[in-house]
Chains A and B, each alone.
Chain A
Amino acid sequence: MVSSRDWKTRIPEGVRDIVFEEANQLRRLEGLLAGYFEKAGYREVIPPTFGFLESMGAGAGVRVQEDLYKFIDRRGRILALRPDMTTPVARLAATHLASGENGEPLRIWYSGQVFRYEESRRGRPHEFRQTGVELIGAAGPEADAEVLSLAIAVLEAAGLPEFSIALGHVDLLEGIWDGAAVNEDTREILRADLGLRDHVAYEKHVFSLGLNPDLTGILISVIGGSADGINGGSSGGFPPEWEALRSSERFSRAAGALADLAAVLDRLHGLGQAGRICLDLTLLRNFNYYTGTVFEAFAPGLGTRILGGGRYDNLLGEFGRPRPATGFALEPENLLIALERCQ
């Protein structure tokens, strides 16, 4: 047993001290990102670190709700530390920054710590830093391309030589399931399979639906089980099974998403950045608020993402003023490790 005196000199699992050189590198990196975002026309906000549970948890799914750091104020209200920056920024934008000048979308950047309980002994931080942007009031693929392009540009500006951005679309996955008339109970199972990264179980569950071979092929194509499968970046093409999505009425939702993705890729191609993208429909983000494109960046030597983001058109509505929005959050601590490992 540890005596109460010993706690004094310890710190809890999931937090850490950042000392001298690393603190210095982190500040410099965050400074570089801030400068880049300012130059791109984004302006800074600093939202509070904690708030009411209902507010901080507004965008979180059940999983994340359980992972919030919660405490009680002196009147008995439940408070929570922010689990991400997007939710408090969305609250701020919906309640105080609702009117953009001349209908111009809001361009916001932020930098700060977020807090989540993680499973024990996984070596994952409970407190970590996020620096990112939100583009609020802009719908459509141009806006998605703008933030994706910015994400690629800052990773390059930071000096990361090799990285890849996995790009998915919530409506493409759900739209494919719509077209195959997959019911909600089955979707829960399929989402769980993908969430657990279990492609074997996904495939078995798809086969057990007893669909015709074409539909089965489309559902399986989601996990990209061939070497020349989903790779919009270098080959510029979608898997052949997806041709059917464009021509069939039942896949209209998926076809819309596919057109979105094609438009985003087209823009990035024009900017010479499409080579950084690989399509990945199995990409599921931690938060439930995503409604369109979703993406995460990966680099060699680092087992986790460097940044993640996507479109969340319904989150501001949670705070009373629906507006389309898209953005990403970069994790500077992970980026520093990736930079170190590629040297």
Chain B
Amino acid sequence: MNGLTIALPKGKLLVHTLKALRAIGIDLSGLEDNPRKLVHRDEASGMTFLVARASDVPTFVEHGAADIGIVGKDVLMEGEKRVYELLDLGFGACRFVVAGPKSIASEGCGLNGLKCSRTHLRVATKFTRVTERHFAGAGRPVEIISLHGSVELAPAVGLAELIVDLVETGRTLIENGLVVIEDVAPSTARLISNGVSLRLKRGPVFDLASRLRSGGNMNAPAG
């Protein structure tokens, strides 16, 4: 009954996540061998693992379908779910940035350094909440255009002046003739917990958190 259910993110983060779990003695090679398997019961640890779309991990955890989950801060920032963020796992680093074409922007020029006469800028993004918060915080009225992919295309075809996107290396931006105007926020993978599980299964939840904290390759929280 007290065995934890843990939601893991599909995709890029999964490899790092499995490595971090292996480092603390939880071997999920059964999951790795069969990518279509969505539920995996690990007899050795008594834990059950679910593999979900990264953006759904906080939803599984918020509603208690999973006690804890591993997911990027980027997903948490966009999803605004009621989950507890327990630990910065350090891997999966990326960042949200505001970017625009070289015709109106230069690297790091900031919103005030834009060469653009429009006062009401159009911003294309997949991350409408992060975008809304960022521009509201900067006191800049913008029109947000929600896209599901190929956001880098928007400035080239006149759909928007700017984009807000998640970048790892920034190569895709360069390939599309875009430069970073300013950073919005950095992101790394986080260990999250359901609020009720945090109270009712406090021991197992914190035990896993402290093992991941000391066993993983994460950075110590500093500065």
List residues 183-216 of chain A with CB under 8 A from any CB of chain B: 197-201, 203-204, 207-208
A153 within 8 A of B: no
Inter-chain CB contacts under 8 Å: number: 67
Q: Is B190 within 8 A of A200, CB to CB?
A: yes
Complex interface: chain B residues within 8 A of A299 (CB)? 196, 200
Interface string of B175-191 (1 = CB under 8 A from A): 00000000000000010
Contact: A303 with B195, CB < 8 Å?
yes
A-chain residues with CB within 8 Å of residue B195 when the two chains form the complex: 197, 298, 303
Which of the four size classes fits the interface of chain A? 20 to 34
B199: contacting residue among A199, A203, A278, A301, CB under 8 A: A278
Cβ-based interface call for A32 (8 A) = no
Q: Does A157 contact B (CB under 8 A)?
A: no
Which of chain B's residues 31-86 have a Cβ closer than 8 Å to chain A?
Answer: 62-64, 82-86
Closest chain B residue to A229, Cβ basis: B206
Q: How far is the CA of A225 from the CA of B202 in the complex (A)?
A: 10
Q: Does A35 contact B (CB under 8 A)?
A: no
Known: A207-B222, A227-B207. Contact between A298 and B200, CB under 8 A? yes
B64→A301 contact, CB < 8 A: yes
Q: B211-223 CB contact bits vs A (8 Å, 1 = yes)?
A: 0000000000111
A226 at interface (Cβ–Cβ under 8 A)?
A: yes
Q: Collect the chain A residues with CB atoms within 8 Å of residue B204's CB.
A: 227
In whole Å, how far is A333's beta carbon from the nearest beta carbon of chain B?
17
Which residue of B62, B210, B221 is within 8 Å of A204 (Cβ)?
Answer: B221
With A302-B64, A303-B62, A303-B194 already in contact, the answer to whether A197 and B83 are too (CB < 8 A) is: yes
Q: Report the minimum CB–CB distance from A206 to chain B (whole Å).
A: 9
Is there a chain B Cβ closer than 8 Å to A326's Cβ?
A: no
Report the separation of the CA atoms of residues A300 and B190 in the bound assembly, to the nearest whole angstrom: 24
**Is B88 part of the binding interface, using a Cβ–Cβ cutoff of 8 Å?**
yes
Complex Cα distance, B203 from A231, in Å, reads 9
Which residues in window 81-108 of B have CB below 8 A to A? 82-88
Contact, CB under 8 Å: B206 / A199: no
> Which A residues lie within 8 Å of B200 (CB)?
162, 164, 298-300
Q: Which residues of A contact B63 (CB under 8 A)?
A: 303
Q: What's the least CB distance linking B84 to chain A, in Å? A: 4
Contact A197 to B206, CB < 8 A, known contacts A164-B200, A207-B222, A207-B223: no
A278: B residues at CB distance < 8 A: 199, 202
Residues of B within 8 A of A198 (CB): 85
B83 — which chain A residues lie within 8 A by C-beta? 197
Choose among A162, A203, A229 the residue that contacts B221 (Cβ–Cβ < 8 A). A203
Closest approach, in angstroms, between the C-beta of B203 and any C-beta of chain A?
5
A256: interface (CB < 8 Å): no
Residue interface mask B120-131, A partner, CB < 8 A = 1: 000000000000
Contact B196 A303 (CB under 8 A): yes
Task: Indicate which residue in A203, A207, A225, A280 contacts B210 across the interface (CB closer than 8 Å).
Answer: A225
Chain A residue numbers with a CB within 8 Å of B207 are: 227
What residues make up the interface of B, taking CB atoms closer than 8 Å to A?
62-64, 82-88, 190, 194-196, 199-200, 202-204, 206-207, 209-210, 221-223
Q: Report A's interface with B, CB cutoff 8 A.
A: 162, 164, 166, 197-201, 203-204, 207-208, 224-229, 231, 278, 280, 298-304
A-B contact pairs, 28 of them (CB 8 A): A162-B200, A166-B199, A197-B83, A197-B84, A197-B195, A198-B85, A199-B84, A199-B87, A200-B87, A200-B190, A200-B221, A201-B85, A204-B88, A207-B221, A224-B206, A225-B86, A227-B202, A227-B203, A227-B204, A227-B206, A229-B206, A278-B199, A299-B196, A299-B200, A300-B196, A300-B200, A301-B64, A303-B62
Q: 8 tightest A-B contacts by CB?
A: A227-B207, A227-B206, A197-B84, A298-B196, A198-B85, A303-B64, A200-B88, A200-B85
